[in-house]
Every structure is written in structure tokens, then in C-alpha cells.
Structure 1
């Protein structure tokens, strides 16, 4: 009939409109700043308000109470108190806590973050209808941010050049994409052949290890894209042949499930295919796109796109270097609830990147002896640094008054529509459907901000980096 025990420790009503104003008197409120952008809020309600809420609660339930010896709705209040006292006090206390907190939060600057619901700090709080009620809650607030010095900083800019080797690698990839693949019989496997094989682990007695068999596995020899790293082992084999190999895997092996172990693997080669690579000539260029008439047209366009990509990555690296220096000189505490929200976003991104479902990702982690919590701990330093960077940049953007006008946004949308080959109205419709219009505005604001910061920084030449190494660096 009634809730019993202690009141809820978390106040989820704050954003649901559940709490009601009781019109009582808050006789005292005190905000205490804690570490990591957390606050402790202590509130005192006067005893008249406490008494009234308790009496109202008792009267409310007495109207519907059915107790032997009394007519429905005619149970004396003292009987109600004697029989249901703890539950009635808990009910009244919950209402007082919720409504009292709402009334105070409507009047103070220190607001809880959307994902940081206030938590009751009192372990053994109880209600005495004849006394004032004092209680405390703790919650996270938006952190105070002091950016420190963010102009005149020295920032390294990596030096990169697109070489002929980089161009040749891209051209080879185009050849492979346009190659004809044909099966070859009675031909030993060579590097770059495409092979299909079955494999399974065997134990010390030579018996297959349960659940280790994989059938019709396809990979390009030399790519390394296979679980047991058997590229070198299949070279020289012919279709129909089998081979047993014993492999030692280092502690840092890419597949953690077998890192630091020794495995004996049985291989059965089923098919061998090779790519019939087209010549690098004008005809290939025309096959790639109608906009190319000659092979030189294709080469020039590839080099231009690679230069553009390298410049974008250099700018990204330069931006990261600058943000790191700014954060080092900034003063701010990141609240734990904000870190948890960021880690939750990391988790969702991780699932999307796998192209699988959350259920399958959980199974994969279990097979590796891991859990999401393990990943969260690995990701935490990066999450904290990313949050600090965003928070500090937001503060600087506010201080510098960086804004993007509707005209600037419209021009950017027009340029992107042309790049995508879409009509302007069609591209606008796509942005609106994906809720990306304001996201694009934020991107433009950030670009503007970095343009200003770079102008006020000392840009120095950094290390020389190969194009491929730059592309493979983590951003």
C-alpha cells in the first residue's frame, strides 16, 4: 500500500517534472564546493512545513485505509500512526526531500549536469514531524574552466611530402581493384596469391581441438590477414595438400586470444587464385573514371588528393599539439559523471566500428577474457584528455566570440554539395534528415577558432614524416 524503508537516494524526478512545490519554508541552504566539479548542497526545512506534510500524508491514506474495527475512511490518525508510522514517515520524507530540493535548485546557480542526478548523502536520515528537517545531496556541476595562456605558444608542424613511392602504391592498389581473378591448378602458392583453406588446431596427440576449425577461409598471401599468421607456411603448397605447423606467438601478438602461446595448426589448401593485373596505361585510367583521358590525368589527380589528405592530417596533428599545450596550462576538474558519459560514447563508437551488435561484441570480449569495464579503464586517460580539450576550447571560443554566420554556413553547405555531386536542396535535405546542420556549424566554428589560434602561435617545423606513416598515426 505504501513504500516503506528509507527514501530513494537518487533524485530522478528533477528532469521529469514529478516534484511539486509545497509552499514550505526553506530556512537554510548551503553550497559546498568539492573536488572534481562536485558540490554538496545542504538544505533545512522548517518544522511547520515538515509537520504539515506528514499530517497531510497521514490524512491522505486514512481516507482509504481498511482496518478491522473501523469503517473505511474513519480510521483515527493515532491508529494510522501506530500501525503504519515508519511507512508514513518515509512517504512524507520522500516528498519533502524531492520538493525541497527542487525549490532550492530553482533558486541557485549550481545546477546538476543532465547525467549527474543528485544523490542523498545521509545514510540514516529519518523524519521527526516535530523538528526541522536537514538533509544533504551531492552532485556534479559544469566545471570551472581557466584556460590559462593560449596565445604565443610554440607548436610543431610535421613535414611531409608525397613521394613517387606513395603514388606507385596507390596506382598498384587501383590495378588490384581492376584485376581479373582466375583460379590456377597444380600451381605452388606464391606471395600475392589468393588462397582458400581449412584450418584447425590439434592437441599433443594430434586430435582436432574442439571449436577451433575454420572452413573456406580466404586471404591474400603476404597480407598477414589471418588468425594464425600462416602466410609463409602456405607458400609452395598446392591445392589438395595438407600441412601441420607449430607456431609460437609473441606476447604482443595482434590476436590476444593466442598471444604468448604455442599452437599446432593443421592446414588444408583448397584453391589458389591469382590476379591478372591490368597494364598501367590510358585505358586503365579511362576505366577508373570518364574524367580521365590519360594515365597522367589519373596520376595528377591521385597526387593532388594525397597532398590534400596530407595537409588535412598535418593540420589535425598541429591542432592536437596545440590543444595539448593549452590543456597543460589550463585549470579545470572534469567531473566523474562527465567522464562516464564520454566512456559510454566511446563504447557506442566501438560497437559501430566493429559493424556488429552489442551482444556479439560482448561475446567477443568474453572470449578474450575481457569486459566493457576493462575497456573503460584503457580508454579513461584518452576520454579525460578529450574532455579537457573540448571544455577548454569551448571556453576560449566563448572568450574570443567566435561565431559562424548563416551566410558562412550556407556557403559551406554549397561547397560540400558540389563536392558530393548532389543538388543543393537535396544536400540540405540530407543534412536536416541526419540532424547535421548545426553539427556542421560547430565544425566551422572550430575551424575558425584554430585559424585564429594558429595566427597567434609560433609554428615551427617538426620532424620529417613519410606520407604512409602520417596516415597510420592515431589522431
Structure 2
């Protein structure tokens, strides 16, 4: 490999002109020949037995050039980057300039890590809000624990009521014709949950076990299946079982069942208050960090390459989609629910993507300016922490997360600590107000509201901890293999379908 030229282009782009020698290219051609000879038929030779020179004579001298280039250019490109001491972002656009049996030249255009001009980052000022724990918050957590430990009991002496969970068979039809996804057997359904389309659950209220009845309703005009939207439907329903949720009493026995560390309900409440306080303090600390780092990135000078921003948006969208899937949704459905498009959704993510990139760049630059180093023991502790957190073998974690990535993350954390330690952080009491009870969602909007709420819960939170990047997040990031791009040449039957 020979690096011929390095040309700086606009907006943090660099163009490299690279030459691959005859010897290297010849090795690539020979590998391409061995890989493909078994598929080639040459008159006078058995399939797969034709010598290379006969194949080149029959198909043309350049028959193996493209594959040979694909085999050899990545290594030449990486060597050129090392020689030019360039840190790139994104994939390179590769173009062959000239090629023959003596080798080839190619041009690689790639975005490089932008230059950063830092503002003042020491002696900054910020506020940290001190939050008290409200009695209503303790009560809400107790209610959640009650809900979590509740048991379902069979009901046989009354009709179904809102809040019950029933087991039903149903078969839906429109105009006398059954439709896909409109039939289910022994389907559990919590009445009032808004899981099925508006009007369905309400018509089960008042029915008794073994009762068969019809549910008449109209699909919403905006229903996701166009062939059913706005249509009148009839569901033949049979009720098999009614269950109700039985909550445990809030007493000392309940407290001991919840935690082995307490003996009374009052002790449990105190423990809950302590945990809520710790969470609020941690959140306040993170907000103060964000405020300090925000002052830095607001005044820093940097020009972000478009490819860098688009790559960050890709990561955010993929992460959000994964969170939605945990809630039983997907990104396509979510975008439809909020009345948007994928293009608009990506556009709305751009500002946050730029903020995340600037945060990493600023903190990395501070670490460099302050000669922050990560000791071997710090790296080992971080590996052990991740392994313990996820119950993964230490060796496995090390194979998943490259040491270089983790070192960068730890250096960024140290940079945040440096900014904080030099800052003037003033504690202020936050004004707390008891929350008012939330209004119940109307049944007419229950289905859509339920889905949208799930989607909102799945939304990726803004990074409160500015010290965390991919390799140090809650889940170990998979080791990334270098992307290889071919050189550019200038030449339901799902229940929700029926009743969501």
C-alpha cells in the first residue's frame, strides 16, 4: 500500500488517494480465482479444473478484478488511515481511479472526527434541587407492591364487573362474514383495561358464567386494518370464567412478606421513603451534571459531519424500536399512533442526536486536555461491575466490549467528575406538591390511549448520565466488525387484530 495524497475537503471530510501494489493485487486475484473457479465452465476443461490464464482469456483479463479489489482494499484503506493518523466516522465512499495487472489506485472519501474548541469548563455554576419524598409517593409505592402481590380468585356468585378478568371465546363477523383475527378461544381479558376496541369490554359487564351473547359495535374510523375501519361488527361471545383481584391487607404481615429487612408496616414505609429519597438525590445529581455539561456544549465550537449525526439517529431509532417491542409494539405502529412519519420522527431526533455527540466530543476533549488516564485496575473493576450486573462471565464481557471503548467511557466519566469538582453547585429546595388523582380514560379512547401510553413508557429517556456511552450502558454492546463496502465504480390472527 502506498498513500499518495491526503486532501482535506469541507465539513470534516478527507479524501485519500491510495495505491495497491502489483504483488498485493496479484494475491487478491489468485484468491478470487480459487474462490470462483469451481463455478466456471471453460470448453475443453472439466468444471472447476480450468487454469486461471484460460479463464482470463475466455472471459477477459479483468474477470477477477472486482472481487480481488474487494479482498484487498479494506486492508490498504486501514493502513492508509494509520499512516495519516486519521480518526474517521462512518463508512468511506470508495472509487477506483485506474486498474490493470500492475495494481490499482483508488480514492476513499470519508468523514473524520471534527475539531473541537472548548469554552471554559472549570469554575462553572449550577443548581441542584433537593427533593423531599411526599406521603403520596410512599402510598403509591405501597399500592404498587399491593398490586404486585395480589392474587386472582374465582368469582361464581355474581356477574362480571369492571376490573374483573374474564375468560371468553369470541367470533367476530362483518356483514355476516368472519374476518381474519376475529376469533379466539379461552381468551383472558381484563374488563376496563381498554385492551379491546371501544364498546367491547363494556358489553361483557353484567354477564354471567356460561352465558352466550352477542357484542355489537363499530370499528373506529382510524382502525389499523382499513378493510374493517368504520364497519359494524357482531361478536358471538361465550363467558367461561370470572376472576377478581384480591389485594393483601396493608399490615405488618404484608411488610414482612415484601422484605426480610423489616418487621412492621411502618418500617416498610420508612424503607420505601429512604429508597425514593436516594433515587431523587441521584436524579438531582444527574440533572446538575447535565446543567454543567450543557453550559460547555452550548458554547463549544464544532462542526458535526452529517454522517455522524445520521449514525447517532440510527442508533437512537434502533434503541427506541427495541424498547417498543418490549411493550408489544413496534416503531411503525408507534409512528402511526402519533400521526407522524418515519422521516419526521427521525427529524425530531436530530437535536437530541447532536446533543449526545457534542457531549461525548466535549468530554473526550476535556479528558485529552487534562491528560486524564484510566488505570488498569479501573478498567478491570468496570469489567467486573458489568459482569456482576448481568451475571455474565468476566471473560465473556471482555470479549464483547473492547477495552478501548471502555477506556474512552471511563475517561469521559473522569472528565465529568473533574468538571463537577471544580464547579460551584448550590443546593436549593424543590417545591413539592401532592399529586392529584389522575382522571380515568374514557372507554371510547381506551384502546388508542393504552397503546400510546405503552409507547410513551418505552420512549428512550434523554441521557441523564452524560458519562455513559454505548459500551458502558446497561447492556454490553456487541463488538462491531468493520463494515466492508464494495468499491464504488463510476459506472394476524393475533387477538389484537380483532379487538384492539
TM-score range, shorter chain: 0.5 to 0.7
- Confirm whether residue 41 of structure 1 aligns to residue 16 of structure 2: yes
Instruction: Flag structure 1 segments of 5+ consecutive residues without an equivalent.
Output: 1-20
- Confirm whether residue 450 of structure 1 aligns to residue 416 of structure 2: yes
Shift of 1:264: 4.6
**Aligned equivalent of 1:290:** 260
- Equivalent residue of 2:182, what SS? coil
- Equivalent residue of 1:354, what SS? helix
**Aligned equivalent of 2:358:** 388
- Equivalent residue of 2:271, what SS? helix
Q: Report the CA distance shift for 1:94/1:181 in structure 2 as closer, same or farther (over 3 A).
A: closer
Q: Report the CA distance shift for 1:375/1:313 in structure 2 as closer, same or farther (over 3 A).
A: farther
Does the aligned pair in 1 maintain the 2:199–2:217 contact within 8 Å? no
**Aligned equivalent of 2:6:** 30
In structure 2, how many angstroms separate the alpha carbons of the residues matched to 1:158 and 1:250?
Answer: 47
Q: 1:281 aligns with which of 239, 244, 251?
A: 251
In structure 2, how many angstroms separate the alpha carbons of the residues matched to 1:156 and 1:211?
Answer: 55
**Aligned equivalent of 2:483:** none
**Aligned equivalent of 1:10:** none
In structure 2, how many angstroms separate the alpha carbons of the residues matched to 1:402 and 1:433?
Answer: 28
- Equivalent residue of 1:313, what SS? helix
**Aligned equivalent of 1:120:** 94
Shift of 1:300: 0.9
- Between structure 1 and structure 2, the one with the greater Rg is 1
- How big is the alpha-carbon RMSD for the aligned residues of Structure 1 and Structure 2? 5.7
Q: How does 1:62-73 map to 2 (within 5 A)?
A: none
Q: 1:340 aligns with which of 311, 330, 333?
A: 311
Cα deviation code 1:208-239 (max 9, x no counterpart): 32223344333444444556585555444433
Cα deviation code 1:348-383 (max 9, x no counterpart): 6744763599xx979989999x9x976983685244
Q: How many residues align?
A: 417
Q: 2:346 aligns with which of 369, 377, 391?
A: 377
Cα deviation code 1:176-226 (max 9, x no counterpart): 3333321112523334322333455542x2543222334433344444455
Q: Report the CA distance shift for 1:291/1:443 in structure 2 as closer, same or farther (over 3 A).
A: farther
Q: Report the CA distance shift for 1:307/1:294 in structure 2 as closer, same or farther (over 3 A).
A: same
State the TM-score, normalizing by the size of structure 1: 0.63
In structure 1, how many angstroms separate the alpha carbons of the residues matched to 2:187 and 2:202?
Answer: 16
In structure 2, how many angstroms separate the alpha carbons of the residues matched to 1:91 and 1:142?
Answer: 30
Q: Report the CA distance shift for 1:42/1:362 in structure 2 as closer, same or farther (over 3 A).
A: same
Q: 1:302 aligns with which of 256, 272, 277?
A: 272
- Confirm whether residue 208 of structure 1 aligns to residue 184 of structure 2: no
Q: How does 1:313-462 map to 2 (within 5 A)?
A: 313-330=283-300, 331-334=302-305, 336=307, 339-340=310-311, 343=314, 347=318, 350-351=321-322, 354=325, 377=346, 380-381=349-350, 382-403=352-373, 430-435=393-398, 448-455=414-421, 456=423
State the TM-score, normalizing by the size of structure 2: 0.61
- Equivalent residue of 2:141, what SS? helix
The structure, 1 or 2, with the larger RCO (C-alpha pairs under 8 Å, 6+ apart) is: 2
Does the aligned pair in 2 maintain the 1:38–1:335 contact within 8 Å? no
